[in-house]
Amino acid sequence: MMIVMKPTATEEDIQAVVERIEGCGARAHLSRGEEVTVIGAVGDREHVQRLGLEGHVGVSQVVPILKPYKLSSSQFSHGRRTVIEIDGRRVGGDNFSLIAGPCTVESRDQLMTAARAVSDAGASMLRGGAYKPRSSPYSFQGLGQEGLRLLAEAKAETGLPIVTELMDARDVEAISEVADVIQIGARNMQNYPLLAELGRTGLPVLLKRGLSATLEELLMAAEYVLKEGNPNVMLCERGIRTFETAYRFTLDITAVPMLKELSHLPVIVDPSHAPGRRDLVLPLSLAAAAAGADGIIVEVHPNPEEAICDGPQQLYADQFADYVEHVERAAAVAGKVLSAAA
Ligand code: PEP
Ligand code: MN
């Protein structure tokens, strides 16, 4: 249920409603707008209904939230879009975030060369996996702790915030020390205990869409993070499994405007993993930016021929500045400017 307060409601009125909601075992989430405050009551709908909040002082109306996802829904934020601030860079709103870097942290030289190239080209953040979800248990699994140490070094030199993947709740502490954004990979989108754990950390989360997840399932996964009190969630479209076999995954561009209609959370697109081919990364990036995406997370490597994983799709670091120029223009078509440090 959504309790819409009157513009004249006082702080005491709001707190009194919150106490009534919590008193019946539900949770109250506040969304303060310029004019009115909306209180999302998440819990047993019947219990909340029985409170009769329509008649409570300061309450304008009580509206059921019809979607199964609540806190991530546009209805809950009454049209306001979430803007997440990461080390002075803004994600969402009129900002276009460019997250770039190698698929995997492989060595000091590889990471630092990539980090300098993307930083010089104007990237907003640096990506790089220290823990990698590989289809084969016999493949390289990432440098782990050593990878995190190198990411910290790249951040110290370039000033770029770090986006890196978390796969195991036991690594939350170590990764949180380095990461500014925690990436939840497609294969873990429905790892609910992991999502709830991140909800309790408050750290910004980049939540990738599962290989065969519907948009509703993606939003329900986001709900697990939001429900624990962490509002900093970015949704990421990275391609889904379809009957098409000409490329690895089908990048669902339709998901961009659709998610922006259904939710107030920023929408990021990964143009690298769907095609699995470098030459298709630019056209998909342009499409994503023009469709209104709030940003892109793209793979860049100084020497992709020698990459340990995802080599064929990684952009050449020395060509990245040219790529950024093109993407920036497409983002401008959708009214967005590249997000840089404030
Ligand atoms: C990645 O970003 O390197 C990655 C493994 O992505 P996904 O989880 O989307 O496959
Ligand atoms: Mn990859």
Q: Give the pLDDT of the chain (342 residues) as one tens digit per residue.
A: 899 999 999 999 999 999 999 999 999 999 888 888 999 998 888 888 889 999 999 999 998 887 889 999 998 887 889 999 999 999 999 999 999 999 999 999 999 999 999 999 999 999 999 999 999 999 999 999 999 999 999 999 999 999 999 999 999 999 999 999 999 999 999 999 999 999 999 999 999 999 999 999 999 999 999 999 999 999 999 999 999 999 999 999 999 999 999 999 999 999 999 999 999 999 999 999 999 999 999 999 999 999 999 999 999 999 999 999 999 999 999 999 999 877
CA 272 to ligand 2 center in whole angstroms: 7
CA 152 to ligand 2 center in whole angstroms: 20
Q: Which residues line ligand 1 (CB under 6 A)?
A: 103, 129, 133, 185-187, 208, 238, 270, 273
Q: Are 125 and 160 in contact (CB under 8 A)?
A: yes
* Residue in this structure with the two tokens 């040219």, named with its chain if needed: 322
CA 107 to ligand 2 center in whole angstroms: 16
* Residue in this structure with the two tokens 């469709």, named with its chain if needed: 291
Q: Which atom of ligand 1 is nearest to the CA of 129?
A: 3
Nearest CA to ligand 1 atom 8: 185
Query: Which ligand has the shortest distance to the CA of 183?
Result: 1
CA 128 to ligand 2 center in whole angstroms: 9
pLDDT (0 to 100) of residue 292: 98
CA 229 to ligand 1 center in whole angstroms: 26
Alpha-carbon distance values, 335 to 60, 290, 291, 311, 338 (Å):
35, 9, 11, 33, 10
Q: Which atom of ligand 1 is nearest to the CA of 236?
A: 9
CA 209 to ligand 1 center in whole angstroms: 10
Nearest CA to ligand 1 atom 4: 185
Nearest CA to ligand 1 atom 1: 103
CA 104 to ligand 2 center in whole angstroms: 7
Nearest CA to ligand 1 atom 10: 186
Q: Which atom of ligand 1 is nearest to the CA of 187?
A: 8
Nearest CA to ligand 1 atom 6: 185
- By most ligand atoms within 8 Å of CB, the mutation choice from 125, 194, 238 for ligand 1 is 238
Structure tokens at 297: 């997370």
Nearest CA to ligand 1 atom 9: 186
Longest dimension (CA), the chain: 67
pLDDT (0 to 100) of residue 340: 84
Whole-model pTM: value is 0.93
pLDDT (0 to 100) of residue 155: 98
